[in-house]
Amino acid sequence: MRRALVVGNWKMHGSRASVDALLGSLTPAVADATAEIAVCPSYVHLAQALELCAGTPVAVGAQDCSHMASGAYTGEVAADMLSDLGCRWVILGHSERRQYHAESDDLVAAKLTAAIAAGLQAIVCVGETREQRENGEAEQVVGAQLQGALAAQAGLQDLVVAYEPVWAIGTGLTATPQQAQDMHAFIRQSLAAIAGIDAAQTRLLYGGSVKAGNAAELFAQVDIDGALVGGAALVAEDFQAIVAAAG
């Protein structure tokens, strides 16, 4: 049985005041949720979010981490620093990191190794661009991203994979439930061929313009175990409605 998981990716949004307001509304609203819940604010709001989420069902994670353990890497944040702070989760390989920061599959793999060593639970993002989908390359692209990030890793039993078609992120376009299910089934099948992964138990999240209005039909698909939510995670009622749909 895979427990539903809903994760909010706040991206580069927020202020101390908005974090207070958002978590002040969200944490009581999800007190009785059956789904597992996490929010991923920016690094500078992690400590505040951890304080506000203490004793609630909402766990806290980061949106990235360094592939290096420590040292002279100006601007980087080590996985150990995140777990020392109290974070449980880290998002890796988000398409915005791949697009704007030239993250390769090799770099995502190195970050995953660092995250696992630090005891973080990683959410590895994969997904094709619109052009790749139109060219019929979606499965090939996603399969290569999975192989590149996951092959030869140890400690993958808590892995979470997020399928986020790039063309659906922040665009208002959502993959149809059937498109998402087809890719999730392909991902589960691909994971089964990677050593050290229990594919049947691995949670697969869908991400890409998930909203209160489309969450239930996505979650009704057999291989969709929850969502990675961007824009709608910034509004407490919207995120709470997605969490409720997952429960």
Q: Is 121 in the site for ligand PEP (CB under 6 A)?
A: no
Q: Which residue has the tokens 């951890």?
A: 50
- Which stretch, 75-83, 181-189, 190-198, 207-215, contacts ligand PEP (CB under 6 A)? 207-215
CB of 183 to ligand PEP, least distance (A): 14
Task: Select 28 or 170, whichever has its Cβ closest to ligand PEP.
Answer: 170
87/54 Cα distance (integer angstroms): 11
Q: Output the CA–CA distances (angstroms, integers) from residue 50 to 23, 37, 38, 179, 210, in the order listed.
A: 10, 13, 11, 36, 25
User: How close are the terminal C-alpha atoms of the chain, in Å?
Assistant: 13
Q: CA torsion sign, 107 to 108 to 112 to 118? A: positive
- Which stretch, 62-70, 138-146, 188-196, 226-234, contacts ligand PEP (CB under 6 A)? 226-234
Q: Is 208 in the site for ligand PEP (CB under 6 A)?
A: yes
CB of 55 to ligand PEP, least distance (A): 27
55/53 Cα distance (integer angstroms): 6
Question: How does strand 5-9 pair with strand 121-126?
Answer: unpaired
Torsion from C-alpha of 128, 130, 131, 136, nearest 10 degrees: 60
- Which position among 21, 34, 54, 170 is part of the footprint of ligand PEP (CB under 6 A)? 170
Q: Is 14 in the site for ligand PEP (CB under 6 A)?
A: no
Q: Is 231 in the site for ligand PEP (CB under 6 A)?
A: yes
Q: Is 169 in the site for ligand PEP (CB under 6 A)?
A: yes
Positions marked catalytic: 94, 164
Q: Is 228 in the site for ligand PEP (CB under 6 A)?
A: yes
Task: Select 160 or 169, whichever has its Cβ closest to ligand PEP.
Answer: 169
Task: Select 80 or 180, whichever has its Cβ closest to ligand PEP.
Answer: 180
Task: Select 80 or 164, whichever has its Cβ closest to ligand PEP.
Answer: 164
156/164 Cα distance (integer angstroms): 20
- Which position among 41, 118, 230, 241 is part of the footprint of ligand PEP (CB under 6 A)? 230
Task: Select 36 or 164, whichever has its Cβ closest to ligand PEP.
Answer: 164
CB of 129 to ligand PEP, least distance (A): 14
- Which position among 209, 215, 219, 241 is part of the footprint of ligand PEP (CB under 6 A)? 209
In whole angstroms, what separates CA 75 from the centre of its chain? 22
Footprint on this chain of ligand PEP (rule: CB under 6 A): 9, 164, 169-170, 207-210, 228-232
